[in-house]
A and B are shown apart, each in its own frame.
Chain A
C-alpha cells in the first residue's frame, strides 16, 4: 500500500465520524421507530404478563428463546470470524475485523436481553445471583453469557485503542466536546510507543485465543439448555457442537451482510472488494458443509432407531406439520445459499449477500424448528402442542433485530469503521511481520 492509498484508507475509515445528514438521521429515525415499537410491545408485556404471547402450557418456550439462541449465535460468528482471521494471520482481514467485532457486541447485547424478556417474573431476576443452583443449565448460561459479554467488549475495545488515539489526534480539534472527551478517555494515553505496541499486540493475541473457547462454551451451554432434557430431538449428544457450528455459520453470514451494508453506506468500495466477499464466502461454505454433515449425522442416527419421542419429532419435521418450514430451511436456507456462494465467476458480492440473507433467515428457521417442535412434542404421547406467536412477540423480535444496525451506525459515528492500526500492522515491513500470527508477536519477544 503506497502513501496515497494509505491516506485514502485513513480518510475513509474516519469519514463517517460525526457525519449527520439526511442518510444518517433518516436511518436512525427509521430503525429507532422500529426499536421503539418493540420496546412498547415489551412494556405492554411487562404490564400484562406473558399471557400476551402465544406461549401456552405445552409450548412454554417460543420466539424469545429462539431469538436468544439466534442473536447470540450471530454474535459468536462475528467474534470467531475476527479471531480466526487474526490467529491465521490473514492479511486481508484489516478492513473487516472492526466490523466483525462490533457486530459481535451489538448482536450479543440484543441476544443477552432475551432470557430476561422471557422471564415470567423479571423483577426477580436477581434471584439468579442470590440463590444460584450450580446444577442448573440456566445458571451455566448466566455465567457463560456474562463472561463472554465482557470478553467480546474487550475484544472490540483493544484494537480500537490506537484508532481512538488517531481520531483524538487528527479530528480532536474539529470535534465537539463529547467526542473529544470520549476519545481522550478511551485512548488511555496511547502514543504508539514500542512498549505500548508490544502490550497491545500481546493483549489482542490473548483475546483472540481466549474468545474462541469462551464463545464455544457459551453456545455449548445454550445447547445444553435443551439437551439435558428428555424431549424429542433435544436429548442429543451432538447438540453442543451443532449449536456452535450453527452459530458460526449464521454469524459469518451476518458479518457479510454488515460488511456489505456499511461498505455501501460509508463508501468503502476501494478497500473492501470482491476478494473479501469471496474469502468470506469460502468461510461460509466450509461452515455450511460442516453443518450439513452434523445435521445428517444427527438425523440419521436418531431417525434410524426412531425411538418414540425423537421419532415423533423427526416425523413432524420431515413429513408432518413442520415439513413446510423444515424443507424451506433445508433447501432455501441451506442448500441453495451454499451453491450460490460456491459458484465461480461474476457477481461475487451480490451472490454472497443473497446467500448470507438466506442463511441468516434459514438459521432463524432452524432455531424455530429446534425449539417449537421439541416443546410441542407429545411427551405425554397423546397430545401435540400448538404455538403461534402474537403481535407482541413479533414486534419485540423485529425491534430487537433493528437494534443491531442502529447500534452499529451510532457506534461508527464515534469510531473508525476500519481498523487503521490493523492495516498498518499487516502492511508492516517483513521483519516485523515474520511471525505467522502477528497477534502473537508480542508474546514471542
Chain B
C-alpha cells in the first residue's frame, strides 16, 4: 500500500479540484439542498366541487395580464368511464423533481425556497422550449407574440411577478408567489366561486379555500386525494380529490 492515499481519496480529490475549477454547477434536479423555508406550498383541487366555469383561468389571466391562449390554470372537461363529465383544473404541479427544471439548459427555470418552480424570463430563458417538451402536464406556455401592454407602464417583470410576459420566453403558473408572500390567496383560489381550489402549506399542515381552513394531511387522507401522474416520479405538489364516482383515465 502506498502511504495513506487510497485511490478513492485521490479520485475524490481530483473531483473536488475539478468541481472548483469548472464554473458549471451540476444539480440537474435542483435537489442538492431540499428547500427549507417556513412554507412549502401545495394546492388541493376538489373536483367534486368544480363546475368548469373557468373563473380561475380568467382571474389568472387578469392578474398576470396574460394573452387569451395562456391558460396557466386550464380547466379540462373529462368524460369518465360511465360517460359522465367532470372538470379538471390543471395549474403547474410545482413538481419537487421537475422535468422542466432538469432539462433547462441555462438554469432559467429554478425552484424557490418554498418549493415553487419559477422562470427567469428577464435574463436567462433563451426560448428553446425544451421545458415544454419535458413537462408531462403541458403546463408551460411560450410567448409567441408580444404580450398585452402592461397596465403599469413601468412594470418590470421578475420571476416572482412576471408581468408583463417577455416575448420569446416561456412562462407558467407560479402559485402567485407575489400574493402568497403577503398572505394573500392565489388569484385562482380567490376567484373560485365553488371554493374548489385550496392553497396549502405542507410545513404548517394547513390549507384554505378562502372560506374554510383544514388540516391538510387529514383532509387529503379523508378525501382520498391523489396526485396526477404521480407514478412518473415528478413529485407534484398539487393534489386532486375525485368525486361523484368520477375517475381519471390516467
A binding-site residues for B, Cβ under 8 Å: 49-51, 53, 55-58, 60-61, 115, 118-122, 124-125, 127-128, 130-139, 142, 225-226, 228-231, 308, 375, 379-383
Contacts and interface: CB of A to CB of B under 8 A. Distances in A.
Contact of A231 (B107, B124, B133): B133
A131 B102 contact: no
Nearest to B229: A230
Given A49-B168, A128-B105, A136-B104, A120 B133 contact: no
Contacts of B142: 50, 55, 57, 60, 120
Nearest to B249: A381
A53 B168 CA distance: 13
A231 B131 CA distance: 12
Contact of A57 (B127, B141, B250): B141
B interface, over-half SS: loop
A213 to B, nearest CB: 23
A226 B133 CA distance: 8
B217 interface: no
B106 interface: yes
Nearest to B167: A49
B38 interface: no
Contacts, number: 137
Nearest to A141: B105
Given A121-B126, A379-B136, A57 B106 contact: no
Contacts of A51: 144-145
B132 A60 contact: yes
A60 B168 contact: no
Contacts of B108: 127
A382 B105 contact: no
B168 A121 contact: yes
Interface residues on B, range: 35 or more
Given A57-B142, A120-B142, A50 B168 contact: yes
Given A120-B170, A138-B103, A225-B133, 9 more contacts: A50-B144, A58-B138, A115-B128, A120-B167, A121-B126, A124-B123, A133-B106, A230-B232, A308-B249
Contacts of B58: none
B130 interface: yes
Interface string B36-79: 00000000000000000000000000000000011000101110
A134 B26 contact: yes
5 contacts: A121-B168, A138-B105, A138-B130, A142-B105, A382-B76
Contacts of A132: 24, 105-106
B119 to A, nearest CB: 12
A137 B103 contact: yes
Contact of A50 (B28, B127, B132): B127
B172 to A, nearest CB: 11
Nearest to B71: A57
Given A134-B24, A139-B105, A382-B78, A121 B169 contact: yes
A138 B128 contact: yes
Contact of A127 (B28, B106, B130): B106
B125 interface: yes
Contacts of B135: 379
A379 B123 CA distance: 29
B130 A137 contact: yes
B105 A133 contact: yes
B28 A120 contact: no
Interface string B140-177: 01111110000000000000000000011110000000
Contacts of B126: 119-122, 124-125, 127-128
Given A55-B144, A125-B126, A379-B136, A229 B99 contact: yes
Nearest to B69: A57
B66 to A, nearest CB: 12
Interface of B: 24-29, 69-70, 74, 76-78, 90, 99, 102-108, 123-130, 132-138, 141-146, 167-170, 232, 249-250
Contacts of B167: 49, 120
A380 to B, nearest CB: 5
A203 B157 CA distance: 54
Contacts of B129: 60-61, 118, 120
B12 to A, nearest CB: 19
Top 5 nearest A-B pairs (CB, nearest first) are A120-B127, A135-B28, A120-B168, A138-B105, A51-B144
Nearest to B129: A60
Contacts of A134: 24, 26, 28
A118 B142 CA distance: 12
A308 B248 CA distance: 13
Given A120-B169, A128-B126, A49 B24 contact: no
A53 B134 CA distance: 21
Nearest to A127: B106
A121 B125 contact: yes
A375 B134 CA distance: 10
Contacts of A128: 105-106, 126
B103 A382 contact: no
Contact of A118 (B77, B103, B128, B146): B128
B88 to A, nearest CB: 8
Nearest to A136: B105
A136 B127 contact: no
A136 B103 contact: yes
Contacts of B123: 124, 127
B114 to A, nearest CB: 22
A321 B233 CA distance: 31
Nearest to A56: B144
Nearest to A371: B133
Interface centre among B104, B128, B141, B146 (most CB of A within 10 A): B128
Interface centre among B123, B143, B168 (most CB of A within 10 A): B168
Given A135-B102, A230-B232, A49 B128 contact: no
Contact of A135 (B26, B133, B146): B26
A383 to B, nearest CB: 8
A131 B27 CA distance: 13
Given A50-B127, A128-B126, A131-B124, A380 B105 contact: no
